[in-house]
Amino acid sequence: MVRGDINRIDLGTAFFERIITGNCFYVDKSGFIEHFLNDANEVVLIARHRRLGKSLNMDMLRCFLTDRKDNRGLFRGLYIENRPVWERAHSAPVFAFNLKGMNETNYQLQLFLQVFTQFNDSFNKNSLSEEDLFKWDLYCGQKGADTNGLLLLTELAYHLTGKRSYLLVDEYDKPLRDTYQTGSYDAVFETVKLFFSAGLKDNPYLEKGLLTGVLRVSYEGMLSDLNNIATYDIFEDDVYTDDYGFTEEEMDEIQALVSFDREKLRQWYNGVRVNQKAIYNVYSVSSFLRNGKYACYWGKSQLLNMIAIMMNDDRKSAISEMMNGEQIEVPVDTRISLKELWESQDDYSFYSFLIQGGYLTIHEMFSEKSTATVSIPNEELMRVWKTFILKSFYPRQQKMLTMFDRADNLGLLALDIESFLSDSLSYYDLAVHTGEERHRVWERVYHVFILGILSAYTESSYSKPVSEGEGGDGRYDILYQRANSYYLFEFKSCDRADQLEARAGDALRQIDEKRYGARLNPSVPLIKVGIAISGKQCRVKCGR
SS3 call for 350:
helix
**Domain harbouring 75, CATH code:** 3.40.50
Residue 81, domain member (yes or no): yes
C-alpha to C-alpha distance for 157 and 163, rounded to whole angstroms: 7
Name residue 89's amino acid.
A
Task: Name the maximum alpha-carbon separation found in the chain.
Answer: 92
pLDDT at 278: 93
CA-to-CA dists, residue 504 to 20, 189, 425, 471, 538, angstroms: 67, 53, 18, 20, 9
With a threshold of 0.85, does the pTM exceed it?
Answer: no
Residues 481 and 439 in one domain: yes
Residues with pLDDT less than 70, the chain: 218-225, 299-302, 344, 390-402, 423-436, 457-463
Helices in 201-312 by DSSP H: which ranges? 248-257, 262-269, 282-291, 302-310
If you count them, how many residues does the chain have?
544
Residue 401 shares a structural domain with residue 457: yes
| 444-449 CB contacts, 8 Å cutoff, 24+ apart | 444/313, 445/313, 446/421, 446/491, 446/531, 446/533, 446/538, 447/317, 447/477, 447/478, 447/491, 448/313, 448/316, 448/317, 448/320, 449/316, 449/393, 449/421, 449/424, 449/425
> Strand pairing of 371-375 and 361-366?
antiparallel
285 lies in some domain: no
343 and 470 part of one domain: no
Same domain, 197 and 65: yes
SS3 283: helix
pLDDT at 301: 65
Sign for the pseudo-dihedral over CA of 60, 64, 70, 73: positive
Q: Are residues 480 and 373 in the same domain?
A: no
Q: What does the DSSP assignment read for 243-272?
A: TSSB-HHHHHHHHHHS---HHHHHHHHEEE
Concatenating the DSSP letter of every residue in 164-177 gives PEEEEEESTTHHHH
Strand bridging mode 26-27 / 94-98: unpaired
Let me know if residue 14 belongs to a domain: yes
Percent of the chain residues topping a pLDDT of 70: 91
Who contacts 344 (Cβ-Cβ below 8 Å, separation ≥6)?
A: none
Domain that holds residue 27: 2-232
pLDDT in tens, 308-363: 888 887 888 888 888 878 899 999 988 777 777 777 678 888 899 899 989 999 99
Do both 356 and 473 map to the same domain? no
Strands (E), 99-255: 165-170, 206-213, 229-232
Q: Which helix (H) or strand (E) element contains residue 26?
A: strand 26-27
Residue 277 lies in a domain: no
Do 115 and 59 belong together in one domain? yes
Q: Is 234 helix (H, G, I), strand (E, B) or coil?
A: coil
**Same structural domain for residues 146 and 183?**
yes
Task: Please enumerate in sequence order all residues whose Cβ is within 8 A of that of 148, keeping only pairs 6 or more positions apart, or say none.
Answer: 139, 198, 199
**Residues 532 and 421 reside in one and the same domain:** yes
Contact call for residues 34 and 80 (beta carbons, < 8 A): yes
Tell me if 531 is assigned to some domain: yes
Q: Which of 182, 201, 11, 22 is nearest to 107 (CA)?
A: 182
Tell me how crowded residue 412 is: count the other CB atoms within 10 A of its CB: 13
Are 461 and 338 in the same domain?
A: no
538 falls within a domain: yes
Q: Is 13 exposed, middle or buried (0-12, 13-18, 19+ CB in 10 A)?
A: middle
Q: Answer with the one of 232, 265, 287 that is the final residue of a domain.
A: 232
> Where is the domain boundary, 351, 385, 419?
385
**CB neighbours (10 Å) of residue 295?**
11
According to the model, what pLDDT value does residue 425 have?
66
Q: Which residues contact 134 (CB under 8 A, 6 or more apart)?
A: none
Give a yes or no: residue 279 inside a domain: no
Count of C-beta atoms within a 10 Å radius of residue 131: 9
pLDDT, tens digit, 9 for 90 and up, residues 297-312: 986 666 777 788 888 8
Same domain, 379 and 399: no
Same domain, 436 and 328: no
- Of 215, 232, 249, which closes a domain? 232
Q: How far apart are CA 488 and CA 512, in angstroms?
A: 11
CA distance 324 to 211: 37
**For the chain, what is the domain count?**
3
Residue 247 domain flag? no
Task: Compute and round to an integer the Cα radius of gyration of the chain.
Answer: 28
Angle at 383 between CA 382 and CA 385, to 5 degrees: 65
